[in-house]
Structure 1
Amino acid sequence: MKREHQVTGHIAAIVTCLIWGTTFVSTKVLLQDFGPVDLLFSRFLLGYFTLWLMRPKKLRTEKGQEIIFVGAGLCGVCLYYLFENIALIYTQASNVSVIVSTAPLFVTIMAHFFLKEEKLQKYFFFGFVCAIAGIVLLSFGGGENVSVNLIGDLLCVAGSFVWGAYSILIKKISGFGYNVIQTTRRVFFYGLMFMIPILIGSGAKFHSSAYTKPLNLANLLYLGIGACAVCFVTWNYAVKMLGAIKTSAYIYAIPVITIVMSVIILHEKVTPFMLGGTALTVLGLVISEKK
């Protein structure tokens, strides 16, 4: 049974990253008509109500547990995606995807201090270095076609850090034994609550015309229902089955998926650096899973 759970955990992580890898392109399109904050709020509000429809049952927690949900909502919903959305304004989607893929480094560091059951093997470090080398080659080896903006890059690093914190908090939440849809919905709720003062402070405006465009509506539904509601459930399930470190290793694949989707949708040119980076990244994934 444990073996079967691990297999389903790996499948959940793969499906999640396949969808998340396309969100950079989708978000980039939406940022032409939306601001980073109002897009973030709209996306997760849609995801929140989708989760209510999936399981319309209230979650009752025990004393002392709610603060963990608050922290997860702040880190994994509000801050991470806010940093990502703003970064996409300043730099290319490929730059964002490669830098946020450093999240496993922060997960590893935090898991070492806070999750005693997470054991690091030498292969993990070898695989990590290989994958990082691959995504650096993939994203920064394109010469004049690569635009690196310091502000956007730093926001991505900050996003990687808070995602590491989120992964640890979700691991703790998974140990509570609650339904994963209900716990994800609770995390979304607190994330939305943290967004409200940011919305007010930034003076974000919701323009109805932006929501009525078919392309925008399709992308928003994809991000809200698919990338938010469904993928957060599958990701949290994967963390529960595999642990924070193993699951986060799949983030390495997101830049590869982003590049592929950019080629298909945006008709970007494939270079030898892309092929080499893809090979190194996949190899790193394989090595990091070895015992």
Structure 2
Amino acid sequence: MTKRNIYIGIILAVTATIVWSGNFIVARGVIKQIPPVSLAFYRWLMGSIFILPIGYKKFRQEIPLIRKHWKYLLWVAFTGITLYNTFLYVAGHYTPAINLALIATTTSPIMAIALAAIFLKEKISLLRLAGLSICIVGILLLLSQGNLDRLLGFHFSTGDWWLLAGALCFAVYNVLVKQKPVTISATSFLVAIFWAGTAMLLPAYLWEKNNNPPVVFDAKLLGIIVYLGLGACVISYLCWNAAIAKLGSGRTALFGNLIPIFSTLEAVLILDERIMGIHLISGALVITGLVLANISSPKSVPGTGSMPLKNAANKTSVNEASLIKAGRSANTTEEKNDY
């Protein structure tokens, strides 16, 4: 591994996390312009269109495999594409972007590790357990704002429930992606779940469209949809996989912990949200915990989520970070999500 490859890999990984981090800003920033299901539908439709030229050739060759595993692919698409970002965008109507990023990107990996331990019989090392414990402390600190009485009398808000539902969906997605048949290539996998997930969003999109005022597509909104579809769904995934090829999956996974940091900075600069000491402390705790949990199994196998293609010990998203996991799985099979 040359220094040049290391530097290029770092740039690629940071680029992917910056793009994925913007998903949380969008979730909060366009709540007055477009309903959540419509935003999710247009995002994945755009992503599906952009991924098709990249993966169509292999997808066509692997159609028999896609048909063979269609039930599995539908479940992956349903949890990681149809539900995860939709729930995140709904939560954006109730929860500040800083909290969206911190809660969504930390609760999902904890759930994923628990699910993997239960259903896949994966062992949880002491180091990983310590890391997860630190994460939980950080999350509780954020939810309680450092007030023990508030924590004891805590009641989940509407946004919290949507966030946790989304985190659970992405955790299930992460566990499912670990079971991806090695015979299905990374690009065919993405083409299949992108289009299937978008198709399953269609009924909810049509219902929402018929029960809400028409969406006004101005230059800003169109730019955001292109950013989500091309950037968060495709470019970030390609950058992430290229980074894995340069740095390896374990080292690259650590960069996923930058997503809540970038999201927080963007929320302050773009949405004028206030960052408080409690955000810094809780953020430091959860990132430290995720790093410890990830170090314990650097070779374990987003995107989509949200990171996109994520290791169970390292989020997620977007997206965006929804498709990190699939990307890393592919890297181990043919060197294989969003956020």
Normalised TM-score (structure 1): 0.80
**Contact 2:56–2:191 under 8 Å retained in 1:** no
Comparing 20-29 and 156-165, the one that deviates more: 20-29
Name which of 79, 93, 100 aligns with 1:96: 100
- For residues 164 and 282 of structure 2, what CA distance do their matches in structure 1 show? 20
Matches within 5 A, 1:10-25: 15-25=15-25
What is the match of residue 159 of structure 2?
A: 152
What is the match of residue 67 of structure 1?
A: 71
Matched, 1:194 2:200: yes
Matches within 5 A, 1:20-31: 20-31=20-31
- Residue 123 of structure 1 and its aligned partner are, at CA, apart by 0.9
| Equivalent residue letter for 1:25 | I
Structure with the higher helix share, 1 or 2? 1
- Residue 286 of structure 1 and its aligned partner are, at CA, apart by 2.8
Matched, 1:185 2:191: yes
What is the match of residue 337 of structure 2?
A: none
What is the match of residue 106 of structure 1?
A: 111
- For residues 268 and 161 of structure 1, what CA distance do their matches in structure 2 show? 26
- Residue 43 of structure 1 and its aligned partner are, at CA, apart by 0.7
Which SS does the other structure have where 1:172 is aligned? coil
- For residues 142 and 8 of structure 1, what CA distance do their matches in structure 2 show? 40
Which SS does the other structure have where 1:31 is aligned? coil
Which SS does the other structure have where 2:287 is aligned? helix
Name which of 263, 268, 277 aligns with 2:273: 268
- For residues 21 and 136 of structure 2, what CA distance do their matches in structure 1 show? 16
What is the match of residue 4 of structure 1?
A: none
Normalised TM-score (structure 2): 0.69
RMSD: 3.5
Which SS does the other structure have where 1:176 is aligned? coil
> Structure 1: which 5+ residue stretches go unaligned?
2-6
- For residues 153 and 282 of structure 1, what CA distance do their matches in structure 2 show? 20
What is the match of residue 286 of structure 1?
A: 291
Matches within 5 A, 1:116-265: 116=121, 118-138=122-142, 141=145, 150-173=157-180, 175-202=181-208, 203=210, 207=214, 210-211=216-217, 213-232=218-237, 242=249, 253-265=258-270
| Per-residue Cα deviation, 1:196-253 (whole angstroms, up to 9, x for no partner) | 1112333266846x32x2222222111111112234566689999759xx95x87654
Query: Quick one: percent identity of the two aligned structures?
Result: 26
Comparing 134-143 and 88-97, the one that deviates more: 134-143
- For residues 232 and 205 of structure 2, what CA distance do their matches in structure 1 show? 22
> Structure 2: which 5+ residue stretches go unaligned?
2-6, 148-154, 297-339
Aligned residues: 277
- Residue 138 of structure 1 and its aligned partner are, at CA, apart by 5.0
- For residues 78 and 205 of structure 1, what CA distance do their matches in structure 2 show? 20
| Per-residue Cα deviation, 1:56-93 (whole angstroms, up to 9, x for no partner) | 32242425411111001110011111111111112222
> 1:94 and 1:139, CA in 2 relative to 1: closer, same or farther beyond 3 A?
farther
**Contact 1:80–1:159 under 8 Å retained in 2:** yes
**Contact 2:29–2:271 under 8 Å retained in 1:** no
- Residue 264 of structure 1 and its aligned partner are, at CA, apart by 2.1
Q: Which has the higher contact order (CA 8 A, sep 6+)?
A: 1
What is the match of residue 324 of structure 2?
A: none
